[in-house]
Structures are given as structure tokens and as C-alpha cells.
Chains A and B, each alone.
Chain A
Amino acid sequence: MDGNGSAPRFPLPSEIADAPGAEGWRSMYPYFTRFQPEDDQRFWFYNSMHFPEPIPAFDTVTAEIPYSAIGANTARVFVFPTTLGIEHRIVNGRVYITALPVTDPEEIGRRAAIFGERAAHYYENWDAQYEGWKLRMRELIRQIEAITVPELPEFEDRAVVFESRGVAQNHYVRENFHRCIDLFSKMWHHHTEMLMLGYGAYVVFFQFCQQAFPEISDQTAARMVAGIDVIMYRPDDELRKLARIAVQAGVDDLFTEGCSPEEVLAALAGRGEAGQTWLAAFEQAREPWFNVSTGDGFYHHHRSWADDLTVPFTALPRYVAQVRDGRLADRPTEALRAERERIATEYRELLASEEERGAFDQMLGLCRLVFPFVEDHKFYCEHWFTSQFFGKIREFGGLLARFGVLAEAEDVFQLHHTEIDQALSDVMLAWAAGGPPLGAAHWRPIVAERKRMLAALHDWSPPPALGPVPEALNDPAVRMLWGITQQTIEAWLRPDEDAIRGFGASSGIVEGPARVLTDVNQIGEVRDGEILVCPVTAPSWAPVFGKIKATVSDIGGSMSHAAIVAREYGMPAVVGTGDATKRIRTGQLVRVDGDRGTVHVIG
């Protein structure tokens, strides 16, 4: 990247020019997300895993709050010895992050003493902690679902008077909005409560495997850990069940490739008892399993299945056809479990001594103990809670639109949460005073300008990293979640014109036409036999995994859900390529090599 022959480095933050047509991007984001001059001294990488697109102003809440929670957990609550928290910055609409390491041995020792006692408390009581965690998370979900957006009618409800409540609805506009943000923050604190410890267990096991077996791939180590009965498979399992019911009830003729969810549902309503049977099963499956997001819970426009039935209705016709042919199989959980045990047992036997085997048993046991939480938390947090959260914010957008402050409800996501606070105050005052709010003239031009800038920012190609090349990567999350290692950084420094390089997350070599999706809402476009190329493969994409031959993503580690699912489907996967979605076009013939972690465009 640096052509001067000096120490290799990425572009410095200060060298990044504003994207053409979006020179005013800074006005969308809070001051604390801006690069500072001294940030040039540090290594930053583009978090395209969570933020593959330019980020709308409201959606910065999904960076601000998670990083606030993660850092609190690692730096202050559990006092991880070698890492503080994660800092983030936004440039041209893209989120760059860096982990703050602890390198002074004395300081590490001081932190280790505290960490040992605190971490052990969770590890030693993991299952009980997880049971408690689920109760706490379900309570948070109940609370976010229960939040109401005041309607601000002409006259207040009588109850305010006759029950001596004394507080008018406009007060609850702010209180309830704040409550949404506060609950989102609490959810993220609980999200990280056990997750960083979970990753810690993985990192330690993976390091052990790499020392004992220097050539083992992360994916193979991951296969020894992978859980079989994890919640994230449940939405897909529910679709298979619905496909079976459709055939049993004799309404399967309605599920055809490209069918419209609305039309199918309307037709079912007119199919008598059989239609009602299916619809009843559908309603049952929906709650909570359709609260799975088509993204990873970081953008407001990643709607859930419940919001947008396109994804489940893309998968249903295939499953229905398979039921008819007697080909629809459930996940072969017993075979998967047996294979997992075989791999672990054989590696165990290959270890050099009984001592190593004893240590291996302990570390693997700990990984398997933490695995259900590490895998399942996503459904509770990023999917179920977050789908509800964005839904509530959308309702506040509806209130602002009704009062004319915004042109439409969806525009609320063009404002930072502190700006929404101001706009809501405007409405509260206007309702109280009886006059119109002043926000229309103020916010509508801002919203229009931000939408225009976001479109311009879409065309900007973010460098995978900024700043000097780091000596070591110390953060467990960076390694496990983002899949970023020293090798990744080296590959970023020397882009190979021919090969698109990433991590082989699931082995095998296949060729096929590419389907490049930059937005999960395009999922209905995927056709049989294509190779899916996307910024990040989200868990809820599992229904199309039966259609595609391979998957390639810009970002992802070997423990990412996509990698796990791809291995189960026996489908080659290359994750963490950095820029596959930019270098490959839909329709091009590509060869995916899941062993070597390479993708080649061959025609």
C-alpha cells in the first residue's frame, strides 16, 4: 500500500479523502466517532462484518452501545488481563475499530489476579449463569415489546384524571423513547456479559490446538466444538415443519417458486379447514422464531422474517417440493454429533502424552460448555430483541411523520438518537401548546441531504485497514469473531490481482455462477446452483443454503455462524475475503476453493 519501500502500512486515517458527493458526512455522526490526528499512530480495521454498508445516523447506535458494553465487560467488569476495550471511528460512513491492548507485564499481572477470580465465578457456574441469563433476556424482550408510543390524541384519556395519574401522554413520548435506548443498552451489556468469556475459552482451545498441531485449520478446531442443537437452526427447522404441514393438508400447490407471501396467505384463508390448519401452524412458528433478522441486527433495514416474509417464502417452495419427493431430511443431528466426536477423539489420540490429553479434555470441555450460549445469544439479542427495538423506533418515526416533522416514518433512521430526542421534544411542546412543531423545516432537508450522501458513500471503497501494521493482535474477539490474524493483514497489504483470498471456512472446491448480494433484501434473487457472494453471511440465510453451491463473504471468522452452517451443509465456504463483493459481479463464473480459502473469477 505504501510505495516508498519504508515499513509497510495502510493509508493513515488523516490521508482518507471525503467521498465525492458526500463531503458533509461528518454532520451525520457524533463528534466522538471522528478520527483524531493521533489516531494515525494506531492500526484500525474496517468492521465490514457488522457494518458492510455506509451507516445511517440512527444505526450508529449499534456501534456506540455495543462498544460501550464490550469495553465495560473486558476492561472494567471482568478485567481481562491483556485487553481493554474496542474503540471505534467513522469515516465516509464506515466503522473502523481497534482494540486497546495491555502490554506492560506488571499491569497484566495486576489485572490477571482480578480476572482469575471473576472469570472463574462464571466459568465454574456456567450453566446456572446461562439459565439466569435467559430469564433476564426474556424479561428485557418482554419490556421492549411492551413499550408503547403515545398517540397524542386531541384530548387526554379520562383515566389520567379519574385515576389521578396527573401525567399527560407527551411526557411518555420522551420517557418511552429513552426507555427503548436504555433497554437496547442493557441488552448489549447482557450480550457481552458471558460472550467475551465464551470467546476466551475458544481462543485458549484454538491456541492449544495450533501449538499441538501447527497445521490444523481453525475450521477443524471449530468442528470439535460446534454445537448441534443450537437455537439458530430453529427458524429453518420451523420452515421444514411448515412445508410438511402444507403437503399433509393439501395446500402445497400454493407454494411455487417466486410466490408472493401476501397472495399465498390470502389464498390460504380461502382454502377452508386445510388453509386454517396451515395458518395456525404458521402463527405458532412465527412467535418467536420469525424474529430472526435477515441481517445481523446492525441495520434498521435488515428486517426480520416477521417483518418481511420474502425470505421464508423463498425457502418454502423448495422444501415443499422436497417433501413431495420424499427428499426433505431433517438435519442429521446424530451423524453430525458422531462426526464431531470422531474428530475430537482422533486429535486427542494424536497428542503426544496423557498430560496433553488431560489438558485437551479440560479445554474442549470448557468450549463445549460455553458453546450453547455463544451460539444461541444471537437469537435472543441480535435477532429477537433487536427486531423489536427497530420496530419501536419505527413507531416513534410514525409519530414524527404524523406531526409532519418527517416525511415518512422510515426517515427517523436518518437521525442520531440524540437528534430524535430533540425532534420528539419539538412534538411534545407542539402538542402541549397547540401549535405546529417547527421540525419540518429543520429536519426534512437534513434527512434528504443525508439520504443523498449515503447513496454517494455506497460507491466509496473502504480500505480494509488504516495505519501502521500492528506487531501483535491481542484481542480474543478480533481473532474469533472477525477472523483477523497476522496473515489477513499480510494479505491486505499485498492484494493479489488474480486470487481473492480469505479463510477456508468449509472445505471443497466448486465452480458456478456468482450471485453478488450487497443487501440481504435481495435474497429472493438467489437461484439454484449459484455461488453466493455477500458482505457477511447472516444466520437467517440458512434457507438458501440448500440452493447454493458455495458461499463467499467479505468478512467472517471460522466460528461465524455462516462457517458452521456451511460445514454442516458440506458446502465450500470462503469467509473474510475483505472485498469479494467488489471484485466479483453477478453472473461471472467463479471457482471457490474452501481448502485454500481462495476464490478465482474464471469466466
Chain B
Amino acid sequence: MDPASAPPPLVRQIADLGAADVASAGGKAASLGELTRAGLRVPAGYVVTAQAFALAVAALDRDGALRGGIARLPAEDLGAIGRAAARVRARITAAPLPADVAAEITAAHDRLGAAAVAVRSSATLEDSPEASFAGLQDTYLGVRGLDAVLDRVRSCWASLYNDESVAYRRRLGLPEDGLGMGVVVQRMLSPRAAGVMFTRSPVSGDRSVVAIEGTWGLGSALVAGEVTPDSFTVSKVTGEITGRRVGAKLRLHSVMPNAAGVTAQAMPAGLRGRPCLTDDEARTLAQVARQVEEHFGFPQDIEWALLGDDPARPALHGEPADRVVLLQSRPETVWAARDSAPVATPQPRASDHILSRLGKPL
């Protein structure tokens, strides 16, 4: 490292991040920073940078033998991958954090002053438009107290060596050195409802609609597939709700009253078949989704939450936009790869369109 330049920071505030920080803070943290720049609300927090990860791993694997061994494993040898990955994970979770990293996290954590936080992996390769690593790294909700946070930071780092993550990298032939991992630490929310939304239809690829899925409480129940979410399709142009399905939401994930962790329980009977969003709220979310898409310039896959303690609370009339909080936004990858030939191209005369369409079987 050039001794003239200041060492890269080990911890940064989310509000200070932007798209250029993917390599240092990870994709998730960078996108949260961008959302803040776009004027949208994200939970307050900080990121433990890839530099902190690099310091820690360098201390554990001074000669790089551990990581080099993984890079040489054949993609199809899942047994060997599993054994090697487990060795790395054990080392990462057992070793204490480097002192300067722990000190920086402690300072940032005190400044945040949250009773409970969410600790979320933010890999530097994750969520690029080309490859979706979605869901391969860990997230911990309802983490309480500094010691637990320090533990969970190590767990997130270790999750870069989950069997599936390693297997995925081997399958794609991605290098093992230069891997990075940021860890996002944010104030834990207790949302009334949460879920995901796409700024184009995941079913048809239609760019004129926002597809929203949601459930009562934390969105983790939806991401984990424990509920059939409510779904809404909202026209970006007219705000009309062109699709609406109420799901059977059988499980409720929520933050425990004393903020000591997250519970999963049976959904109260009165909420199961009740839509978690009003039409107005769905429209508000769709507007937020449009803002996000316009900011990034291409279709997005967004995690959202609606604030409010009581899941049974009625509509948030009058103040909806303030209550939408975004937890993540990443490029939509499925349809982006599929876009094909134009539906129609200009013709010499407008009436030629009629002939070209009516001139063949409908």
C-alpha cells in the first residue's frame, strides 16, 4: 500500500456511500447509499468495509494457502468443497476481530445507538447486473448488544464460505483471491408489512407495471418462502391496480417486544386472509419503485418495508410516503437477459402497420 495515501476506512456511514463503493463496501451497502442519495428512506446504519474483511482474512490465512486450496477444487467435487469451506468458516468465526476493526465498529455502534440491529452481508460480487448471488450470504435480524454484533460480523464474513457460495463461485470459475465482503449494520425495523417489488413484471417482463409482493411483519417470512404473499400489480402510468391476489399468509415474522431477536409464529387468524397493503399503499410503493428505477436507470428488484408497530393498524392515510423504508435494491437480472427484437419498427406509411398485422393470421 502506498504509504502516502490514508489507509482505506474500516467502517463507513451508509449515507456516505454511492455506486462507486461496490468494491469497498459491497453491493448491498452501495445500493443503500444510492437510495439515500435518491432521497429515499433506508434504515440508519454503517458498513464494515471489505478492507476490514481483508485485514481479518489476511491475519487468518497469512500465506493464502487456505484460499488457494479452494480455488483449485473442481466445481463438481461438492464433498471436497464442503470440507474446505467448513475449515475456512471455522477459522473466521473462532478468531477474534483485529483490534482496530473492533474499535471502529464499537465507535460506529455507539453512534448509531440502536437497541437492536440487522447485520447483513454485502458481498462485493453480489448483485451485479451479470450475476445474482441473491440469498447466498447471511443476514441476521434483531441482533442486540455490541458483542453480538461483533459475532455476527464474523458470521457474515464466514457466510462468504457457505458451501453453496463456494460451489457457486467454482461453477462460475470466479477467483478466490480478491473476494470481498462488506457487512451492513442497520437499525432494526419492526415493520407493519414488508416484502419485495420489481419495477417490471417478473411474469411477463412488462416494463409498465410494478409487481409488489408482501406480508404482515418482517419480509423474512416471504423471502424464506414461509408465506404465500399478497401480490399487487400496479400500472406505473395510471396507478391502476391491474392485478391483486390475497395470499394465505400462515406465518408471521416479527421483532420481539424487547427487541431481543425475531420470532416466527402462526399468523393471527384475522390477518391471514387480509391484504397487508391498501390500494393506496400499493400505489405509493409503486411510486417509490419508479423513483428507484429512474435513479438507477434500469429495472430494479427492491426490498421494502412499511413502518408501523401494529400489523392490524389501518391504512397510513396522509403520511404514506414517509413510512416506506427500503432495505435493498438490485438490478433485475432475469428479463434484462431476455429482451429481444422490437415489437414493431417504423414503416414508410402508418397504414402499412395495418397491412403487416391484418395481412397474416391473427
Is B269 in contact with chain A by the CB < 8 A criterion? no
Q: B206 and A203: CB pair below 8 A?
A: no
Binary CB contact string for chain A from 496 to 508 against chain B (1 if under 8 A, 0 otherwise): 0000000000010
Listed by A's residue number, 23 A-B pairs whose Cβ atoms lie within 8 Å are A82-B360, A82-B362, A108-B360, A116-B359, A120-B352, A201-B354, A208-B343, A214-B206, A215-B201, A215-B206, A215-B208, A215-B242, A215-B243, A216-B206, A216-B235, A217-B242, A347-B237, A353-B342, A356-B342, A359-B342, A359-B347, A360-B344, A363-B353
Is A36 in contact with chain B by the CB < 8 A criterion? no
Contact partner of B350 (CB less than 8 A), chosen from A216, A366, A472, A595, is: A366
Is B233 in contact with chain A by the CB < 8 A criterion? yes
Min CB gap A112→B, angstroms: 4
Contact partner of A204 (CB less than 8 A), chosen from B201, B279, B349, B357, is: B357
CB < 8 Å A-B pair total: 143
CA distance A105 to B209 in the complex (A): 36
Q: B240 and A217: CB pair below 8 A?
A: yes
Q: A120 and B349: CB pair below 8 A?
A: yes
Residues of chain A with a CB closer than 8 A to B244's CB: 595-596
Residues of chain B with a CB closer than 8 A to A352's CB: 207, 339, 342
Is B204 in contact with chain A by the CB < 8 A criterion? yes
Residues of chain A with a CB closer than 8 A to B346's CB: 355, 358-359, 361-362
Q: Which of B204, B209, B352, B361 has the most CB of A within 10 A?
A: B361
Contact partner of A358 (CB less than 8 A), chosen from B201, B243, B345, B355, is: B345
Q: B350 and A362: CB pair below 8 A?
A: yes
Q: A81-B359, A112-B358, A362-B353 are in contact. List 18 more A-B contacts (CB 8 A).
A: A81-B360, A105-B360, A112-B360, A115-B355, A119-B355, A123-B349, A204-B354, A215-B235, A215-B242, A216-B208, A350-B236, A350-B237, A352-B207, A356-B343, A358-B345, A358-B346, A359-B343, A472-B361
Residues of chain B with a CB closer than 8 A to A82's CB: 358-362
CB-CB under 8 A for A220 and B359, given A124-B349, A201-B354: no
Q: B362 and A472: CB pair below 8 A?
A: yes
**Which A residues, 58 to 111, have Cβ-Cβ distances below 8 Å to chain B?**
80-82, 103, 105, 108-109
Is A365 in contact with chain B by the CB < 8 A criterion? yes
Q: B345 and A355: CB pair below 8 A?
A: yes
CB-CB under 8 A for A359 and B344, given A215-B209, A596-B244: yes
CA distance A579 to B94 in the complex (A): 71
Residues of chain B with a CB closer than 8 A to A120's CB: 349, 351-352, 355
Is A154 in contact with chain B by the CB < 8 A criterion? no
Residues of chain A with a CB closer than 8 A to B339's CB: 352
Q: B237 and A215: CB pair below 8 A?
A: no
Is A476 in contact with chain B by the CB < 8 A criterion? yes
CA distance A213 to B205 in the complex (A): 8
Grouping DSSP codes into helix (H, G, I), strand (E, B) and loop, the A interface class, with mixed when no group exceeds half, is helix
Contact partner of A108 (CB less than 8 A), chosen from B243, B345, B361, is: B361
Residues of chain B with a CB closer than 8 A to A163's CB: none
Q: Which 6 pairs from chain A and chain B are nearest by CB?
A: A358-B346, A123-B351, A359-B344, A112-B359, A214-B204, A362-B350
Residue of B nearest to A346 (CB): B237
Residues of chain A with a CB closer than 8 A to B136's CB: none
Total chain B interface residues with beta-carbon distance under 8 A: 38
Q: A214 and B351: CB pair below 8 A?
A: no
Is B265 in contact with chain A by the CB < 8 A criterion? no
Residue of B nearest to A508 (CB): B240
Q: B205 and A214: CB pair below 8 A?
A: yes
Residues of chain A with a CB closer than 8 A to B351's CB: 119-120, 123-124, 366
CA distance A176 to B138 in the complex (A): 88
Is B238 in contact with chain A by the CB < 8 A criterion? yes
CB-CB under 8 A for A359 and B345, given A215-B242, A347-B208, A596-B244: yes
Is A474 in contact with chain B by the CB < 8 A criterion? yes
Q: B207 and A220: CB pair below 8 A?
A: no
CA distance A208 to B344 in the complex (A): 7
Min CB gap A479→B, angstroms: 9
CA distance A200 to B355 in the complex (A): 9
Residue of A nearest to B208 (CB): A213
Q: B206 and A362: CB pair below 8 A?
A: no
CA distance A426 to B343 in the complex (A): 64
Is B241 in contact with chain A by the CB < 8 A criterion? yes
CA distance A363 to B353 in the complex (A): 7
**Which A residues, 314 to 373, have Cβ-Cβ distances below 8 Å to chain B?**
342-343, 346-347, 350, 352-353, 355-356, 358-363, 365-366
**Which A residues, 178 to 201, have Cβ-Cβ distances below 8 Å to chain B?**
197, 200-201
Residues of chain B with a CB closer than 8 A to A254's CB: none
Is A207 in contact with chain B by the CB < 8 A criterion? yes
Is A211 in contact with chain B by the CB < 8 A criterion? yes
**Which B residues, 196 to 230, have Cβ-Cβ distances below 8 Å to chain A?**
201, 204-209
Residues of chain A with a CB closer than 8 A to B344's CB: 208, 211, 355-356, 359-360, 363
CA distance A115 to B242 in the complex (A): 37
Is A223 in contact with chain B by the CB < 8 A criterion? yes
CA distance A348 to B315 in the complex (A): 33
Is A268 in contact with chain B by the CB < 8 A criterion? no
Residues of chain A with a CB closer than 8 A to B238's CB: 220, 223, 343, 507
Residues of chain B with a CB closer than 8 A to A438's CB: none
Residues of chain A with a CB closer than 8 A to B241's CB: 507, 595
Contact partner of B347 (CB less than 8 A), chosen from A214, A362, A474, is: A362
